Amino acid sequence: MAEQVRYDEDSIRSLDWREHIRLRPGMYIGKLGNGSSHDDGIYVLLKEVVDNSIDEYVMGHGKKIEIDVEERLVRIRDFGRGIPLGKVIDCVSKINTGGKYDSKAFQKSVGLNGVGTKAVNALSSHFVVQSFRDGQSKKAIFERGELKEEYDLSTSEENGTLVEFLADDGIFKNFKFIHDYIEEQIWNYVYLNAGLAIYFNGRKFISKNGLLDLLERKTEDGQLRYPIIHLKGDDIEVALSHDNHYGEDYYSFVNGQHTTQGGTHLAAFKESLVKTLRDFYNKQFEPSDIRASVVAAISVRVQEPVFESQTKTKLGSTDVGPDGPSIKTFVNDFVKTSLDNYLHKHPETADALLKRIMQSERERKDMAGVRKLAKERAKKASLHNKKLRDCRIHFTDEKREERLDTTLFITEGDSASGSITKSRNVETQAVFSLRGKPLNCFGLTKKVVYENEEFNLLQHALDIEDGIENLRYNNIVIATDADVDGMHIRLLMLTFFLQFFPDLVRAGHVYILETPLFRVRNKQETRYCYSEEEKQTAINALKGKIEITRFKGLGEISPDEFAGFIGEDIRLRPVLLHEDVSIGQLLSYYMGKNTPERQQFIIDNLKLEVDRNEMSEPDNEPETGAEDDNEKEAA
């Protein structure tokens, strides 16, 4: 008989603000993570503080912000008005306290619920806030949300606010800041606040032309079909063009917040774009033909925005303000008037845009038969039984936290997929098994995605045929062996994503799984090492009879061991596209014809790797208990 669970007055608990945030951090900052993903919690902490500084700039106070990140310590200094000195402690430690409830002080702010800096405070092992106002200063020091010290000081510093924090490594396990992600956040801030200067570790970021600058940075030279259309109005800004990439590429913002999941404003823009162009050309084009290969950005400012989660990645508001029109009407009226006027004034752009739409129409019709057959093949292949071992949770708007944790591992062969399948979290982790080496698809058209069984099934598993809005897994992890064949398969898969679905990479969904190369152990301790350097450190640290195993394939790692490598301490290397990288040139260099330049690159880097390995060889060989030379190696 099941044991009776006692439920009485003693079962009811009331948590203070710190306990609640620390017990349920996902409610406040989304997923935790370790910094390998752009939406991990440590970047949300940084954003929550910077958002306050941005709001000061929007209200006309302070033209620069300084952000410094040293290892794990973050320091943010703005030059706005500074928090009123008598409320410095309350603003960072009392829920539902802040200046943004006063709509006159912060008309169109991002953070309206008074939670942001409180969450940063509660989730930091070290947190400092200091306000500077007219020669006086208030400084407070906290540990995990608990006030430890406070000071009232005289100062000669400029007005503004300083926040310093160190995320609690008891909550954010093995975390590390990737500066590329921080720089991407900063670029968005300056694009949306033309004239604001942000200094990150001394480097200056500034934009003069807003979303026009954003699109110029996001698109490749020579790929745009016509010059970027840049439209500005009261509380709305739009930039758009078409290029030659597959899919649709959007960047949407509300009150300076990057709404990565879109929302009502983006839906309204996509709808109004189709309606306006249909009316302008007087032809009922298919929406997919109009939006194919589009690259666009939209920014709106609304009063008291309502987001669908605390992380503010999807706008839920239907109106621009208490007394304003609906967001749909607001966006549609602006696009209809401004875009129509622009195209009438720039007939060469209108002609180029029409040619791009008609090209998409022809391509869609040519592909219709192939797509139909591909869908039938995918259905007959019993996708969810053969190639894909699915997870139980498929994200919905109501399951935001689960969606952020959903992962698809792409593996090579049955042995590797078997190890991951047995050790994965079946709730959130799925496995897709490749059969041999995939096709090198560089330079091929998207028709090959439907004709190639492997690519077709993977596309259906991800649900990205019509764009990434319906992406079924937030994290796509390429998990291949640490040998030449594994590296080759990794390169072929990256070529597939960059060639046909670059938005997946740009949006930060694609990763490389790092698995240990070595296991170093004695009778007392086992260490897993991800590099020659880590192996050498382990050899020097462990005493006695040492056994060293070199893992050459994922299938060699037992499921029990593997569970540790794809669990809480998973090591993922994000696939990042730097701003100065052209996808076309990148793929041409690595996957095109075997040019002399690439041959020389391989020779030079191979020599460096050989030299590095020679330098890392230990002087004294430890004892080893290896029984099988094919599986284990002596140092």
What pLDDT is stored for residue 191 in this prediction? 94
Distances (CA, A) of 74 to 68, 177, 240, 424, 425: 6, 10, 35, 34, 33
What pLDDT is stored for residue 623 in this prediction? 38
The amino acid occupying position 517 is L
pLDDT band with cut points at 50, 70 and 90 for residue 369: confident
What pLDDT is stored for residue 539 in this prediction? 92
What pLDDT is stored for residue 2 in this prediction? 52
With tokens 């290969």, the residue in question is: 293
pLDDT at 386 over 50: yes
β-bridge mates for residue 512, sequence order: 478, 573
What pLDDT is stored for residue 97 in this prediction? 55
**What is the C-alpha to C-alpha distance for residues 483 and 175, in angstroms, rounded to an integer?**
27
Closest C-alpha among 510, 426, 446, 500 to residue 473 = 510
Closest C-alpha among 330, 334, 321, 328 to residue 107 = 321
What pLDDT is stored for residue 618 in this prediction? 40
**What is the C-alpha to C-alpha distance for residues 4 and 7, in angstroms, rounded to an integer?**
9
How many angstroms from the chain centroid is the CA of residue 275? 31
pLDDT at 38 over 60: yes
With tokens 């880590």, the residue in question is: 534
With tokens 């004294």, the residue in question is: 620
Q: pLDDT per residue over 5-30, tens digit each?
A: 666 666 556 667 788 888 888 888 88
Domain ranges of the chain: 17-205, 211-365, 381-515+556-592
As to burial, measured by CB atoms within 10 angstroms (0-12 exposed, 13-18 middle, 19+ buried), residue 385 is exposed
Residue 57: both structure tokens together:
């700039």
* pLDDT greater at residue 96 or residue 35: 35
* pLDDT greater at residue 278 or residue 367: 278
Closest C-alpha among 5, 521, 435, 507 to residue 247 = 507
Q: How many CB atoms lie within 10 A of CB 586?
A: 14
pLDDT at 170 over 50: yes
Q: What is the overall mean pLDDT for the chain? A: 83
pLDDT at 601 over 80: no
**What is the C-alpha to C-alpha distance for residues 330 and 341, in angstroms, rounded to an integer?**
17
Fold of 381-515+556-592: Rossmann fold (3.40.50)
Rg (CA), the chain: 27
pLDDT at 627 over 70: no
Q: pLDDT per residue over 176-231, tens digit each?
A: 999 999 999 999 999 999 899 999 999 999 999 999 999 998 887 778 999 999 99
What pLDDT is stored for residue 608 in this prediction? 47
**What is the C-alpha to C-alpha distance for residues 498 and 479, in angstroms, rounded to an integer?**
17
With tokens 């997923």, the residue in question is: 31
* pTM of the predicted model as reported, rounded to 2 decimal places: 0.77
Q: pLDDT per residue over 119-157, tens digit each?
A: 999 999 999 999 999 999 999 999 999 999 999 999 999
With tokens 């007394």, the residue in question is: 323
pLDDT at 555 over 60: yes
pLDDT at 242 over 70: yes
Fold of 211-365: Ribosomal Protein S5; domain 2 (3.30.230)
Query: Beta strands of 47-176 (E only): which ranges?
Result: 64-70, 73-78, 124-133, 136-143, 146-154, 160-167
Antiparallel, parallel or unpaired: β 429-434 and 407-412: parallel
**What is the C-alpha to C-alpha distance for residues 443 and 588, in angstroms, rounded to an integer?**
8
Q: pLDDT per residue over 269-315, tens digit each?
A: 999 999 999 999 999 999 999 999 899 999 998 887 777 765 667 77
- Is 17-205 CATH 3.60.40.10? no
**What is the C-alpha to C-alpha distance for residues 163 and 222, in angstroms, rounded to an integer?**
43
Residue 299: both structure tokens together:
């920014």
- Mean pLDDT, residues 568-574 taken together: 86
Residue 161 has φ and ψ, to the nearest 5°, of -130, 140
CA 489-493-499 angle, to 5 degrees, is 140
